[in-house]
């Protein structure tokens, strides 16, 4: 499948998706959101892909925001639809994907760009990265899950300050807040993401999928995450991966998981 705004590369079980609009600082427009959805959907279906990495092209930006020119004249109804559709096909879609998605934040991650990074299962940043949700400076609020995910990741007070000031934080502050897991140089960023991804690929895909589901359950309204965990834990006992994993442990050898 060919795309206009993104590049997809697969190597050793890792699919790297690069948002490739450098002249627009990789801003998210409607077409790019749709292409990301399609690429991620294909990667989820591909049995060879175990982990996804999302990054931006160039050295300046991961994603510098949404493409404001696309919605500057929207009505209330159109704005509501923009947020609902975007959350459904990309941001919630990534968060609930059965395969791990790592954000490699290689520069500015602002507005929709930070929301995209936060929808991923965890984030790594280059030391030149800057992150923020500047929407209130445009008379609007984050609409792709930013008001929900940022407090979950860094706490309510810090999220309130970031959103209300429309300010940016640097990579080290993001690390201290828990917004990113690691900070490294731009040159080492993808290498470190791949190193972590390779550790993930050693483990059971079916168990990892269950872990994503159960961790997410804790943040869903009206859902008892402990109950979800109990059921998912029990289901693991009926999988080939469980039989292989426990047998390999007892036989003191490396497990060969099939993802079934």
Task: Give me the pLDDT at residue 38, please.
Answer: 97
pLDDT band per the 50, 70, 90 thresholds, residue 57: very high
DSSP type of residue 253 = S
How far is it, in rounded angstroms, from Cα 229 to Cα 211?
Answer: 8
For the chain, helix, strand, coil in percent to 5 are: 50, 15, 30
pLDDT digits (tens, 9 = 90+) for 166-177: 999 999 999 999
* Residue 175: both structure tokens together: 């690390």
Nearest to 199 by CA among 46, 14, 15: 14
Residues 6 or more apart whose Cβ sits within 8 Å of residue 209: 98, 99
As a whole number of angstroms, the distance between CA 128 and CA 189 comes to 11
Q: Which of 9, 42, 59, 135 is catalytic?
A: 135
Say how far apart CA 65 and CA 45 lie, in whole Å.
28
**Are the CB atoms for 53 and 102 separated by under 8 Å?**
yes
Q: Is 260 a catalytic residue?
A: no
Residue 128 has pLDDT above 90, yes or no: yes
pLDDT, residue 45, reads 96
Within 10 angstroms of residue 39's Cβ, the number of other Cβ atoms is 19
| The token pair that represents 79 in the structure block | 């704005």
Q: What is the pLDDT of residues 136-182, one digit of tens each?
A: 999 999 999 999 999 999 999 999 999 999 999 999 999 999 999 99
Q: Which of 71, 188, 51, 57 is nearest to 120 (CA)?
A: 51
Rounded-to-integer distance, Cα 204 and Cα 220, Å: 25
Q: Is residue 54 predicted with pLDDT exceeding 90?
A: yes
- 59, 70, 78, 115: which one is catalytic? 115
Residue 135 annotated among the catalytic residues of the structure: yes
What are the tens digits of pLDDT across the range 208-250?
A: 999 999 999 999 989 999 999 999 999 999 999 999 999 999 9
| Helices 146-154 and 112-119, axial angle in degrees (round to 10) | 60
| Tens digit of each residue's pLDDT (9 = 90 or more) over 188-199 | 999 999 999 999
pLDDT over 80 (residue 1): no
């Amino acid at each position: 499948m060919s795309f206009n705004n993104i590049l997809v590369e697969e190597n050793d079980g890792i699919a790297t998706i690069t948002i490739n609009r450098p002249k627009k600082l990789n801003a998210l427009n409607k077409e790019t959101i749709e292409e990301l959805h399609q690429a991620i959907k294909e990667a989820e279906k591909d049995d060879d892909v175990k982990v996804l990495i999302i990054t931006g092209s160039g050295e300046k930006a991961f994603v510098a925001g949404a493409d404001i020119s696309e919605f500057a004249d929207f009505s209330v109804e159109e704005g509501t639809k923009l947020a609902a559709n975007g959350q459904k096909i990309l941001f919630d879609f990534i968060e609930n994907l059965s395969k791990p998605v790592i954000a490699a934040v290689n520069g500015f991650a602002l507005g929709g760009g930070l929301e995209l990074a936060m929808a991923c299962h965890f984030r790594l940043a280059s030391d030149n990265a800057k992150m923020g949700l500047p929407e209130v400076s445009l008379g609007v609020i984050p609409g792709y899950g930013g008001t929900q995910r940022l407090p979950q990741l860094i706490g309510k007070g810090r999220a309130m300050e970031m959103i209300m000031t429309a300010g940016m934080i640097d990579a080290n502050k993001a690390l201290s807040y828990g917004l990113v897991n690691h900070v490294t140089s731009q040159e080492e960023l993808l290498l470190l993401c791949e190193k972590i991804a390779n550790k993930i690929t050693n483990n059971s895909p079916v168990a990892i999928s269950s872990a994503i589901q159960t961790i997410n359950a804790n943040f869903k309204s009206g859902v008892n995450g402990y109950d979800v965990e109990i059921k998912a834990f029990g289901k693991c006992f009926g999988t080939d991966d469980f039989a292989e994993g426990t047998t390999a442990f007892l036989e003191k050898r490396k497990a060969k998981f099939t993802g079934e």
